[in-house]
């Protein structure tokens, strides 16, 4: 695995080119070649992919009838491109890009997306979201420092941006290494549910992802490689945890108390305090009576105890969310008996290539055709994120199926019901238990390639839907009085997502506590800044999570970009601090709340980590990815109190 994204010269015979197309994603190859050749006539109407349904998107947009025609057109264009010397610079002017967008998305995306597209598609990859300024240039002689909490995907990025801007930064990381989520989640079967060609930094793309959807180990390695390439590793203090951070008004600095590995406390000082602790960072153990009485090994999915051998054991898995759905098929192979305690069923989307390695021929094309990997990334952006937003939206006045919230939502529901019915047609007893009664997208949709239903159907796996009454010293007792004796309990019960930054304490202007200000209902402006907390920036903060498969990397890049705009404003104006105006912040949150009430997760009555104790969605972004891109393009000085 390498971090390079530069293609090699395209030298190949006609036969080799033809063979390379066996595993190609043809619609994006045509799009890419149209840009490279400067010839949109190859995007014929009869070759426009159908991306109107999930099934067609998964099939690459083509019916079996269309495939040979698309393949022939791609081969012809590929040969022309090779014969022209495979120039790296595209022949098509950017103004013509909307034509390609229209072709790929059936008119779903228009010219408004072009600037975003150019950032995401730039080839050779340029770092379009880099700050483009330095402290020295804007404020010669000024020293400005930042403390960044967390060395996961967002924290490493923030560190890199600070380095690029000449900000003196320190990263505090509680773990012994980088990687965040992908370091901590080592449970068997753990992998990402966004394709890696999209779930990766726009400026550090890779042409040789081993899988379409990588395992946690691959992602940890990627983030380690990025940390190395960014040159930020030397600035990370490992095994160190932030206890609290306090704003010092007189000095316009943050005093950050950290606990080192041996327990020694130290106070660090910086001008800016940037948290990159993730929303899914602190495991949530369920509040079930008798939990501590269990006498065997018990652990949370994100704190997997690899010293415990589950072979031949009776195991209970409590929870059946995204983590459980990945680990159940693996644990089922080892355990003598596996009891899955499901409170609420999930929706599953069929993704046949979920565990597949990227075929060699496709990787060859990525490595030899400039911009092909980028167009493929873009197709994923459309088909697995932006294009799915309508399926999570409430249709005003919807009077169709009451189990859905709108037309597109109902179509998605029908598709996923079909998948469950197909998967469990031989087990009506299970089918009855696994069909959700709530609209899709109210909770995270889990991707599956068939391994989850296959695991549930094994003789040694038992799906228990009777509510849990208590944990006993020997196992799990359900409300019907039955006790399931087990050797091990695995809690796949999720995270304390709505307790942002927990257990850290943050004190802003006049000593106001962030937790008290939030009172269990976290809010921020752009997901990043908070009134009365000057020079405080959150990454993956309130209302920046996306439900229908958006990539958190995309959001992190834009949140960091926005943070850097704020810091640039301080440099340009010579001010020491900024915090968002309360009225601006409140108006923004009203808009977010209205948006969330128009989405499945905002209206459905089903438990999920998408709502906090006030029953408000403090986690999710309810609009399009383009809208988040738009709002983070620059900082409006009038939104802030500058001092």
Residues lying near ligand NAP in the complex (CB under 6 A) are found at 191-193, 280, 286, 288, 301, 318-324, 326, 341, 343-344, 444, 468, 492-495, 607, 609
Burial 216-242 (b: 16+ CB within 10 A, else e): bebbbbbbbbbbeebebbebbbbebbb
Q: Other CB atoms closer than 10 Å to residue 182's CB: what's the count?
A: 24
Residues 121/69, Cβ–Cβ less than 8 Å = no
* Shorter beta-carbon distance to ligand NAP: residue 391 or 529: 391
* Shorter beta-carbon distance to ligand NAP: residue 181 or 529: 181
Q: Find the farthest-apart pair of alpha carbons in the chain and give their distance in angstroms, rounded.
A: 75
Residues 512/587, Cβ–Cβ less than 8 Å = no
* Shorter beta-carbon distance to ligand NAP: residue 5 or 191: 191
Residue 184 token pair: 């901590």
Minimum CB separation from ligand NAP for residue 203, in Å?
A: 22
Minimum CB separation from ligand NAP for residue 301, in Å?
A: 6
Residues in the chain, total? 643
Minimum CB separation from ligand NAP for residue 172, in Å?
A: 23
Strands 298-300 and 314-318 come out as unpaired
List all residues 6 or more positions away from 187 whose beta carbon is below 8 Å from its beta carbon: 301, 302, 304, 323, 326, 327, 330
Dist CA 631 CA 589 (whole Å): 14
DSSP string, 485-512: E-SEEEE---B-TTSTTTT-EEE-GGG-
Q: At what angle do helices 97-105 and 372-384 cross, to 10 degrees?
A: 50
* Shorter beta-carbon distance to ligand NAP: residue 196 or 253: 196
* Shorter beta-carbon distance to ligand NAP: residue 143 or 437: 437
Region of 184 please: left (phi>0), alpha (psi -120 to 50) or beta: alpha
* Shorter beta-carbon distance to ligand NAP: residue 204 or 324: 324
* Shorter beta-carbon distance to ligand NAP: residue 69 or 462: 462
Q: Other CB atoms closer than 10 Å to residue 65's CB: what's the count?
A: 8
Minimum CB separation from ligand NAP for residue 186, in Å?
A: 12
Minimum CB separation from ligand NAP for residue 440, in Å?
A: 14
* Shorter beta-carbon distance to ligand NAP: residue 533 or 621: 621
Minimum CB separation from ligand NAP for residue 468, in Å?
A: 5
Minimum CB separation from ligand NAP for residue 191, in Å?
A: 6
Residue 318 token pair: 């409590």
Minimum CB separation from ligand NAP for residue 626, in Å?
A: 22
């Amino acid at each position: 695995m390498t971090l390079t994204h530069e293609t090699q010269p395209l030298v190949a015979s006609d036969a080799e080119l033809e063979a390379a197309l066996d595993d190609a994603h043809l619609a994006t190859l045509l799009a890419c070649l149209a840009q490279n050749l400067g010839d949109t006539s190859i995007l014929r109407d009869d070759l426009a992919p159908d991306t109107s349904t999930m099934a067609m998107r998964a099939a690459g947009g083509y019916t079996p009838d269309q495939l040979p025609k698309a393949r022939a057109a791609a081969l012809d264009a590929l040969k022309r491109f090779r014969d022209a010397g495979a120039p790296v610079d595209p022949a098509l002017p950017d103004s013509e890009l909307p034509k390609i967008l229209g072709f790929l998305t059936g008119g779903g995306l228009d010219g408004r997306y072009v600037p975003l597209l150019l950032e995401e598609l730039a080839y050779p990859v340029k770092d379009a979201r880099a700050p483009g300024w330095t402290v020295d240039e804007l404020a010669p002689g000024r020293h400005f420092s930042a403390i960044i909490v967390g060395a996961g995907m967002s924290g490493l990025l923030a560190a890199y941006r600070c380095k690029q801007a000449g900000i003196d930064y320190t990263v505090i990381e509680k773990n012994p290494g980088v990687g965040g989520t992908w370091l901590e989640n080592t449970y068997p079967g753990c992998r990402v549910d966004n394709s890696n060609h999209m779930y990766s930094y726009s400026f550090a793309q890779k042409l040789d992802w081993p899988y379409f959807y990588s395992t946690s180990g691959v992602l940890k390695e990627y983030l380690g490689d990025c940390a190395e390439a960014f040159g930020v590793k030397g600035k990370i203090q490992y095994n160190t945890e932030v206890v609290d951070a306090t704003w010092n008004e007189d000095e316009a600095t943050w005093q950050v108390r950290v606990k080192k590995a041996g327990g020694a406390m130290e106070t660090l000082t910086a001008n800016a305090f940037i948290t990159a602790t993730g929303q899914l960072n602190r495991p949530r153990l369920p509040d079930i009576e008798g939990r501590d009485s269990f006498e065997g090994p018990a652990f949370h999915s994100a704190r997997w105890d690899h010293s415990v051998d589950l072979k031949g054991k009776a195991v209970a898995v409590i929870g059946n969310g995204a983590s459980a759905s990945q680990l159940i098929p693996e644990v089922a192979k080892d355990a003598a008996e596996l009891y899955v305690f499901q409170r609420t069923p999930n929706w599953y989307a069929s993704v046949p290539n979920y565990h597949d390695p990227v075929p060699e021929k496709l990787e060859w094309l990525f490595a030899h055709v400039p911009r092909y990997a980028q167009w493929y990334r873009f197709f994923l952006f459309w088909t697995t994120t932006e294009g799915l937003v309508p399926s999570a939206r409430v249709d005003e006045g919807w009077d169709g199926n009451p189990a859905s919230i709108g037309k597109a939502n109902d179509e998605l529901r029908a598709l996923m019901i079909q998948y469950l019915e197909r998967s469990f047609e031989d087990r009506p007893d299970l089918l009855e238990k696994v069909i959700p009664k709530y609209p899709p997208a109210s909770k995270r949709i889990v991707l599956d390639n068939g391994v989850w239903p296959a695991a549930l159907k094994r003789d040694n796996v038992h799906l228990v839907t009777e509510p849990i009454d208590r944990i006993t010293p020997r196992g799990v007792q359900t409300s019907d009085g039955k006790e399931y004796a087990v050797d091990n309990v695995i809690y796949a019960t999720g995270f304390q997502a709505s307790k942002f930054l927990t257990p850290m304490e943050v004190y802003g202007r006049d000593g106001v506590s962030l937790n008290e200000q939030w009172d269990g209902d976290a809010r921020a402006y752009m997901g990043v800044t908070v009134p009365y907390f000057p020079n405080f920036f959150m990454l993956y903060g309130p209302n920046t999570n996306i439900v229908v498969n958006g990539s958190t990397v995309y959001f992190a890049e834009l949140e960091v970009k926005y943070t850097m705009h704020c810091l640039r404003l301080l440099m340009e104006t010579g001010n020491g601090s900024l915090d968002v105006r309360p009225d601006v912040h409140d108006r923004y949150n009203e808009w977010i709340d209205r948006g969330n009430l128009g989405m499945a997760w905002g209206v459905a009555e089903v438990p999920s980590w998408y709502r906090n104790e006030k029953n408000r969605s403090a986690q999710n972004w309810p609009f399009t990815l383009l809208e988040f891109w738009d709002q983070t393009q620059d900082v409006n000085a009038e939104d802030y109190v500058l001092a």
